[in-house]
């Protein structure tokens, strides 16, 4: 009999990128650019952040993360209990085999195998549903915090917020993760009212 197994659900969101805002200097007084004269873009701040920290350190993301972890622990315990029960049933069937008619034993063995397969499928569906919920939680989180990040970006005069780990080198990149976490906490709290929209 194959052993039932449980793998902890660890999923992450790799990238957060907001639309760039490009500003072009326009001459004042209604005068246009002379032909052949290049239009210089306005220098803008580049902001960076850690999406994983936004999720794991904000009240909103932390609450959802802990809820999934708690459900994962319950499912893992359930898997261990079911596995122990099936192993006991398998040993009992094996011990009874010498004294049983071969055809009768085969009938019981086939029924047990069907039970194992059905149990494995049922527990697998629970694991996949929990993984889907974890994914949906992250989607909901980043959809909800986007206005907060956009406001922070505009206030800083930035044209883009990049994932911190994706920036190799920049002279004017500023990490705003701590500030963003504070603003998310202030604007959304633990997000309990928003999670009704998540697909469980």
Domain boundaries, the chain: 45-197
Give the tens place of pLDDT for each residue, 124-174: 999 999 999 999 999 999 999 999 999 999 999 998 999 988 888 776 679
High-pLDDT (> 90) share of the chain, %: 66
- The pLDDT of 18-45, averaged and rounded, is 40
Lowest mean pLDDT among 65-74, 125-134, 190-199: 190-199
Confidence of residue 196 (pLDDT cuts 50, 70, 90): low
Residue 35 has pLDDT above 70, yes or no: no
Residue 175's pLDDT is 92
Enclosing H/E stretch for 106:
helix 102-155
DSSP 195: G
pLDDT at 11 over 50: no
**197: confidence class by pLDDT, cuts 50, 70, 90:** low
**Crossing angle, helix 102-155 and helix 59-96, to 10 degrees?**
170
State how far the Cα of 105 lies from the Cα of 91, in Å rounded to an integer. 13
What is the DSSP code (8-state) at residue 126? H
Report whether pLDDT(71) > 70.
yes
Give the global pTM. 0.70
pLDDT of residue 167: 83
Question: Of 137, 166, 164, which is closest to residue 50 (Cα–Cα)?
Answer: 164
Residue 189 buriedness (CB in 10 A; 0-12 / 13-18 / 19+): middle
């Amino acid at each position: 009999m194959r052993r039932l197994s449980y793998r902890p659900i660890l999923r992450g969101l790799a990238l957060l990128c907001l639309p760039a805002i490009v500003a072009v200097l326009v001459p004042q007084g209604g005068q246009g650019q002379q032909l052949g004269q290049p239009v210089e873009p306005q220098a803008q701040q580049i902001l960076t952040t850690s999406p994983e920290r936004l999720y794991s350190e904000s009240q909103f993301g932390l609450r959802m993360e802990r809820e999934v972890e708690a459900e994962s622990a319950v499912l893992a315990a359930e898997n261990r209990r079911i596995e122990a029960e099936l192993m006991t049933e398998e040993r009992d069937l094996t011990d009874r085999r010498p004294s049983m008619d071969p055809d009768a034993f085969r009938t019981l063995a086939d029924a047990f195998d069907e039970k194992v397969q059905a149990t494995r499928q049922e527990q697998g569906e629970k694991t996949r549903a929990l993984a889907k919920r974890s994914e949906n939680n992250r989607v909901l989180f980043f959809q909800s915090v986007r206005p907060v990040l956009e406001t922070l970006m505009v206030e800083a005069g930035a044209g883009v917020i990049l994932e911190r780990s994706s920036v190799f080198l920049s002279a004017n990149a500023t990490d705003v993760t701590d500030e963003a976490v504070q603003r998310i906490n202030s604007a959304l709290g633990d997000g309990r009212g928003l999670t009704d929209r998540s697909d469980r």
